[in-house]
Structure formats: structure tokens, C-alpha cells
Amino acid sequence: MKRVIIGNDHGAVDLKFRIVKHLESRGIEVANRGVDSGDSVDYPDIAAAVCGELLAADADGNSFEFAVLCCGTGLGISMAANKIQGIRCAVPQNIFAARMAREHNNANVLAFGGRIEYHEPVEAMLDAFLDSTAEGGRHANRVNKIMALEATGDR
């Protein structure tokens, strides 16, 4: 069974519940690490906790396929996530971008905004991501260059 971890701040509680329901309807186990109320929390803390758990396997060797992060816009939480070594967080604006995040960029985290009015459903973007695979080849070379920037800080 696929496993996904999700985290959100107070700006995306309703969206988080929608995403969890959708993923579970696809038979995916979802670990909810977000908040369930509108009480203010700091999205960098959520991003750090979720991404840390994504990168670590549990004692039985189980791991998550990817993570979903949500805040008011998806932007702040994605910026925080992308500061964590090993994370490639994309903020798709449509189905095509979600698919390319997986196929070309091998993203391991998607971020969405609870206060964003999307022209295509977030659920459809998730499906496009889930139903895609990383293409490798020239795209893997580019992903490796992205990851090398973490280690070297080269500009």
C-alpha cells in the first residue's frame, strides 16, 4: 500500500481534509501531521517535521512515497521545505505542472494553498502526480544538479 504524509497550517485545514479524503479513496494510507483547527501555527515547523519524517524510514523499513504540504498559498511552506536537504517540493498550478513535477523533476513533496482558487481541482493534480513516474535520463541529470546545489551552494 502506498503511504503519503501530509502537513498543514491553519490556512489550509479544509484543503487538507479534502486531500486526505481523496487519497484514502484511492486506497492510500495517509499520515496526518497537520493541524485540524484554525489556531495559528508556524508553517516552517510543519514543513520541517513532515519532511524529516518523509526522509526517514520507520523501524520496520516503511517509508512514505511522498508528502503533501499546505498553507495559505502553498508558497511559504514550500520555501521552508526546499531548505531541507533531500527535499524537492513543487507548487503545481495545474494538472500539467503536477505531472511534470514527477516526470521531469522527481519531486517528493507537493505544496498547495488553502486560500488559492485553483482552475483545476487539487485532487486532479494529485492524481496526475500519483499516476506518473520519474522519467530519468536527461531529467535525472538535471535533478542531480539541483541536489548538488544543496551540497555546494554554487550559483
Catalytic residues: 71, 104
The CA distance from 86 to 144, in Å, is: 11
Closest CA to 69 of 120, 31, 118, 26: 31
Closest CA to 26 of 78, 56, 65, 71: 65
Q: Residue 46 in contact with residue 69, Cβ under 8 Å?
A: yes
- DSSP β-bridge partners for residue 29: 3
Q: Residue 80 in contact with residue 44, Cβ under 8 Å?
A: yes
What element of type H or E holds 141? helix 138-152
